[in-house]
Amino acid sequence: SYSDMASGLTRAAIYALRTGSTQASRLSVRAIHLEGFTKAAAQVGMKMAKDKFLETDDYYTKGVPDSELKFDYDKYGSLTKVFDDHRHVDPFTHVKDELDSVTDCIKDIVGSDHKVLNTVASYFIEAAGKRIRPAIVMLLSEALQKGNEPTERQARIAQISEMIHTASLLHDDVIDKSDSRRGLKTINKLFGNKMAVLGGDFLLARASLTLARLRDPTVIELMSTIIEHLVKGELMQLHKAGPSISNYVTKSYYKTASLMANSCKSAAILGGHDENMQLVAYEYGKNVGLAFQIVDDLLDFEGNTDDLGKPTLSDIHSGLATAPVLYAAQHFNEMQPLIDRKFSQVGDVQLALHYVEKSGALGETRALATSYAEAAVAAACQLPASNAQSALIALVERVLLRNR
């Protein structure tokens, strides 16, 4: 049965993660190729939601806690001044060779003798995208080591984070019925939903194998939590009632920031750094991740299709209430019925846009993103001075000012 299949896969995956067993990981990979896995995962996911799976997580019940590292205006003056002092280092140029190496290693890791599966798994990796996640891991690893190159094990975290992210894109495009991403047709559009889901599963399987080979239980647990959080974020998006800014931030943490935060902390652990530096790494990743997602939601209103590589207003057309909509609802009670019916009636989207523009919600959303950017900079300022530290700070500015 589907439930038995899912149970067997889950036991194999848990054994692989807790023991670092590559043999158990291979069993998980084989299970993923079974015809019914996607249905099994869906059924298990719904049961977990019914059993209040989400309520076991403090972030869900209490919200994402404020950063423990605050931006010190007395010490640094202003965020703009800090950016001015560190803008001389281009973050992506600084680690270009390392990012190219990460991409090449991922291509080797996901290589398959199945031609179509290989094409599907490599499709967005070839497109390269922003590569912000591996860039953050590589820059942070270098900054923690006072300018020394990241270790091979830290580079593995960069590879794993990008594979998990790419897998989530393949799955998200199926859920959202998307036709384009990064200016390209989506996998589900080219090959169908089944191949898109299998391609994402395959990437997660290869990421799990790579993770198991690190043989560090703490890091394995942290990186595995990312995948759990991706599921929780999707469940929040589908089922959580009573939209609010707090719930929105929690969902954004699960879907975007957790990957950056836990990848950064894992890199710090593998570099042998103490708990204080692990916290700095985590806080940087968490806050730059939240700023990134909030700006992404802002660009859905302010951006254009050519720059974004995907249609604008896609969230509101999908019935999702992101920060601009939620802020507008705080000013206009008329927004709530639109949110409740997921903008499904004729004229709902246009009316919601009117309230968003009239309320100043876009400015409030920008301010929310800036608050998390400040927290990310505060964390980066705890790192030893180096070009890598400057690049991390410059990257926060890129996140705030990006148009794609």
Band (119; pLDDT cuts 50, 70, 90): confident
Tens of pLDDT, residues 284-311 = 999 999 999 999 999 999 977 666 556 7
Tell me what pLDDT residue 225 has: 95
Is the pLDDT higher at 21 or at 94? 94
- For 181, list phi and psi in degrees, rounded to 5: -155, 140
pLDDT, average across residues 18-42: 42
Residue whose pair of structure tokens reads 């079974």 in the numeric block:
34
Tell me what pLDDT residue 129 has: 72
- Judged against a pLDDT cut of 80, whether residue 154 lies above it is answered with yes
- Judged against a pLDDT cut of 50, whether residue 44 lies above it is answered with no
- Judged against a pLDDT cut of 50, whether residue 31 lies above it is answered with no
- List the single range of 123-137, 157-171, 353-367 with lowest mean pLDDT: 123-137
Tell me what pLDDT residue 267 has: 98
- At 167, the amino acid letter reads A
pLDDT, average across residues 167-173: 89
Q: What is the pTM of this model?
A: 0.84
Q: End-to-end distance of the chain based on CA atoms, in angstroms?
A: 44
Tens of pLDDT, residues 336-375 = 999 999 999 999 999 999 999 999 999 999 999 999 999 9
Is the pLDDT higher at 314 or at 88? 88
Band (115; pLDDT cuts 50, 70, 90): confident
Tell me what pLDDT residue 128 has: 62
Band (242; pLDDT cuts 50, 70, 90): low
Tell me what pLDDT residue 241 has: 52
Best-predicted range by mean pLDDT (58-67, 188-197, 235-244): 188-197
- Report the chain's mean pLDDT, rounded to a whole number: 84
- Judged against a pLDDT cut of 70, whether residue 89 lies above it is answered with yes
Q: H/E/C letters for each residue in the chain? A: CHHHHHHHHHHHHHHHHHHCCHHHHHHHHHHHCCCCHHHHHHHHHHHHHHCCCHHHCHHHHHCCCCCCCCCCHHHHCCHHHHHHHHCCCCHHHHCHHHHHHHHHHHHHHCCCCCHHHHHHHHHHHHHCCCCHHHHHHHHHHHHHCCCCCCCHHHHHHHHHHHHHHHHHHHHHHHHHCCCEECCEECHHHHHCHHHHHHHHHHHHHHHHHHHHCCCCHHHHHHHHHHHHHHHHHHHHHHHCCCCCHHHHHHHHHHHHHHHHHHHHHHHHHHCCCCHHHHHHHHHHHHHHHHHHHHHHHHHHHHCCHHHHCCCCCHHHHCCCCCHHHHHHHHHCCCHHHHHHCCCCCCCHHHHHHHHHHHHCHHHHHHHHHHHHHHHHHHHHCCCCCCHHHHHHHHHHHHHHHCCC
Is the pLDDT higher at 118 or at 219? 219
Best-predicted range by mean pLDDT (51-60, 184-193, 288-297): 288-297
- Judged against a pLDDT cut of 90, whether residue 266 lies above it is answered with yes
Q: Quote the CA–CA distance of 329 and 336 in Å, as a whole number.
A: 6
- Judged against a pLDDT cut of 50, whether residue 400 lies above it is answered with yes
Tell me what pLDDT residue 156 has: 98
Tell me what pLDDT residue 392 has: 98
Q: Which residues are CB-neighbours of 78 under 8 A, at least 6 positions away?
A: none
Q: What percentage of the chain exceeds 70 in pLDDT? A: 82
Band (111; pLDDT cuts 50, 70, 90): confident
- List the single range of 43-47, 88-92, 135-139, 194-198 with lowest mean pLDDT: 43-47
Tell me what pLDDT residue 82 has: 96
